[in-house]
Amino acid sequence: MIDGLRVLALVPARSGSKGIPDKNMALLGGLSLIARAGKVLGQIPWIDRRIISTDSQRYADEGRKYGLEAPFLRPAELSVDTAGALETFVHALGTCEQTDGCRYDILIVTEPTSPMREPADVEVTVQALLRTGADSAVTVSRIDTKAHPYKVFSISEGRLRYFSEEGKRITARQDLEPLYARNGLCYGFRRETLLSKRVLITENTVSVVTGRPVVNIDEPLDLLWAEFLLEKGHSLVPTL
């Protein structure tokens, strides 16, 4: 518990993957991505229960090796490419409450495909959620200005077109408003946000900005980049 609130931690790990087969079992620094998520959560004493939500018995077994319980396998409708994150989280929360006979006030989600996580990333996310009274808290990374919507183009009939007409007025990157993307290190949700509001991001969602390099694993090159960052010591603990 934290501040008298019961906490459930979830590692979502569907087995289907197109970019990298068995992506959640891919090795980084000798550990699977599932293992890395489990080991981090295992270092946080105030989490009441740590589970993996998967459709694969093999993934469930891997999670158990690293401190994650597997109280269920996902139903078929939550095991396809089109399955929504909200529905997956609600299913996990509701199922655990039913089987455990208790109420979980906060759900933490740590995506195994964002493996550069440290325990302090989870700590700062939940502290931000509690301190601000937000509906949810999300870790984000600043987008490189090269990928800013005002700096990118579409192609129409072989000709470049500004993706946004606002891009025509930009002369220096300093003119670009900072933008951010979710990085998957940690999400924190209040129970009522998921079960009553049925939404992940609201007007009362607080951001937790990650200031160091992180990686979302989608393609083989992402794994190589993550290995490089790990070797160079870029997985640094954020400031609490």
Distance CA 114, CA 46 (A): 22
The pLDDT, as a whole number, for residue 77 is 87
- What pLDDT was estimated at residue 70? 98
pLDDT for 234 equals 59
Three-state SS at 78: helix
Most confident of 6-20, 79-93, 131-145: 131-145
Tokens describing residue 164: 């946004």
User: Residues 167-191: what's their mean pLDDT?
Assistant: 91
Tell me: pLDDT of 47 over 70: yes
Burial classification of residue 168, based on how many CB atoms lie within 10 Å of its CB (0-12 exposed, 13-18 middle, 19 or more buried) = exposed
How far apart are alpha carbons 112 and 101 in whole angstroms? 27
What is the rounded average pLDDT of the residues 185-200? 97
Residue 238 has pLDDT above 50, yes or no: no
Query: What pLDDT shows up at residue 37?
Result: 97
Token representation of residue 95: 């199922």
Segment 9-31 mean pLDDT: 92
Let me know: does 141 contact 214? Beta carbons within 8 Å. yes
Average pLDDT, the chain: 93
Interval 23-50 mean pLDDT: 97
